Every structure is written in C-alpha cells, then in structure tokens.
Amino acid sequence: MSPVTKEDVLRALGQVVVPEDGKDVVESGLIDGVAIKDGNVHVSMTAGDTEAAKALEPLRQAAQRAVAAMAGVTSATVILTAERPRPAAAKPEPAPAGRPAVPGIRHMVAVGSGKGGVGKSTTAVNLAMALAQLGQRVGLLDADIYGPSLPRMMGITGKPKTQDGKKLLPMEAFGVKVMSMGFLIDEDAPMIWRGPMVQSALQQMLGDVLWGELDVLVIDLPPGTGDAQLTMAQRVPLSGAVIVSTPQDIALLDARKAINMFRKVDVPVLGVVENMAYYCCPNCGHRAEIFGHGGARATAERYETAFLGEIPLTLEIRETSDAGTPIVVSAPESAQAAAYRSVGEAVGVALSGRKAKPFPRIVYA
C-alpha cells in the first residue's frame, strides 16, 4: 500500500461540503495545513474567531471522519485554529548605560525559565532555527555554563578555531552560528565554578567570539535567577527575553519570578511560551493535557505581556533534539515545527517593533 500523501488527504477533504456556500472545505480556504507522519495525519482548519470555531465544530468532525476513513491512515486529528487578540508585544527599549553593544549583532534575545526541566534549551534551539528559516542571520549562545547541552542538540562536535590567536570562530550548523562552553570541555566534565568565573566566561563567549553580522543572537540561559542570568541582564544589551514554562502551577510560580527579574533590570519581556502544553497520541489522536493547560497564557495576560504560543509534548521533539537534528530543520512540515515557527514569527514581530498579529489559538473538541 502506498503511503498517504497530502494530495490524498486534500482529495478526501474535498468531499466535505460547507453547507452555507456549497463549496468543500478545501475550496472555501478553511484548510490551513496538513502534516503526515507514519500514517498519522494532522489537519488544521482556520476560523475567523472563537465563535466561528464553535459553529464549525460539526464540519471539523466531518473532516476528521473523512480523513480517518482513508486507507493507510492510522490516526486522524483535525483541529480548528481561531485568532484571538492579544496585547501587542512590547517594543524593545534602548540598552541602559553600562551595557556595551557587541559589534555586528543587532538584537540579543535571552531565553529563560524560572526552573529546570521545562524544555528551555529545546525551545531556544528551535526558536533559533525558526528565525533562520524566516530569513534572519542567527547566532546561538549557550549561556547555560553548568549544563551546556547545545553541542549535542545541534549535532556539533570538535573545538572552535581561531584566526588570530585572540578571538574564536563560532561553530556552525544549519546556517546558525553557535558557541558553547561544551565545545571547550569534555562532555562529562562537571562545571564547578563560582560567580565571578561564570561572569567572566559569559563575557568572553560574547566579546571574544567573531560572531560577524547577525540579526539575532539567541541566548540560552541556565534555569533560575542567579549569577548567569543577572550577568546577561545587567551587562549585555538584551533586546528582550522569552520565558519558557510548562503549564503546571509549580513551573508557573518560577516563571513569574523570571518575568519579574527581567523587568527589575529593565529588560523587556517579549512573551511567554507554554511548552509541553498537551500530548496527542500518535495512534488514536487522543489529546491529554498531562501538565494542565493554559497556565502560561493566563500568566502572560496577568503580567500584560505577549503569549507567544504553545508547543506540544511529542516523542519527535525529544528524538530530534537527542539526535542533534532540531525538528524545525529535520521535519519542517510537521505540526511541531509549525508551532516553533509561530513563536519565531511572534518574536520577530516584537523585535521589529511592528504591531503583532493575533496568535492563532488552537481549539480542540
């Protein structure tokens, strides 16, 4: 049996008619995207707003039944996306005095979290890949001194070289320049450093690296609000910070601390990402909100910052990260990659100072 293709799915959806205009869902422009992997089909349908999404629920169910009935389809999930207005992302403020700019780097964006284990580094890597796919010149700095993981997640081995014996050339993968303490030490070596050593190392990885011309340098911070975070916030001209959290209350408590830390040192918070927002079974399509859902969105609203989007909990994201092939580049047509690109687009809008488009909210039955 031949594998199911996007064209096959669109033909099946062509049998689902919109009662109001007599056209099928494809002709009506309701189909926003189709992702297929190993017989598991994910389709997104676009509605104008949340009220329209409710009215289209019977049509969504009919579309899901049509796809599920196809030969070779293991599972079928059709979701409705509805635009929901959110506050425009804050325009980055000029860097306060005492934060010298790094030549050639237009914007520096810190990716932080209040606690570990929320997928901050995975988000930072895929955000960098998404920005690169959107046409930006991107660098990625691993500021997680105590647990540098970017070499493994980016699939980079070896040590950086130098042209003049003074400054290092960054490593590169997937068109993104990368620097990490992990390139300079053994992967299993513990980093037992005090605060001043951490501060010195971070400043050297910024100032003693030939980054060249970059539109955005994404900085993966260690979790928490300690020396490394304060060094970056107080001594580096950050254009803004992205906060990553999972939906459960304990993680959100620490995420709020991270928001407040950046604001106290005059770094704009560009928004909040909800990671591991939900899990969809690849076999039956059942959705489970393992860690709860919506907590990061509520936190963003409470602190009057942007909600940048939600990332699902999937095996593919974990596998591609462990393999050194971030999902945005290894599976660019997947729903997971699309979610990261939505976050990248929102960050790009915030950095440009343009009015942000509403983030499409995913509505499940």
pLDDT band at 110 (very low <50, low <70, confident <90, very high): very high
The CATH number assigned to the domain with range 6-83 reads 3.30.300.130
Mean pLDDT of the chain: 81
Render pLDDT for 53-66 as a digit per residue (tens, 0 to 9). 567 888 888 988 99
Query: Length of the chain, please?
Result: 365
Render pLDDT for 193-228 as a digit per residue (tens, 0 to 9). 555 566 677 777 888 899 999 999 999 988 766 666
Whether residue 358 has pLDDT greater than 70: no
Render pLDDT for 112-124 as a digit per residue (tens, 0 to 9). 887 788 889 999 9
Distances in Å between the alpha carbon of 325 and those of 74, 135, 174, 342? 26, 19, 9, 19
In the chain, domain spans: 6-83, 105-358
The mean pLDDT value for 331-352 works out to 90
The mean pLDDT value for 165-170 works out to 86
In angstroms, the CA 279 to CA 289 distance is: 6
Quick check: 112 and 262 in contact, CB under 8 A?
yes
Q: First CA to last CA across the chain, in angstroms? A: 31
Which tokens in the block code for residue 118? 């929320």
What topology does CATH give the domain 105-358? Rossmann fold (3.40.50)
pTM attached to this predicted model: 0.69
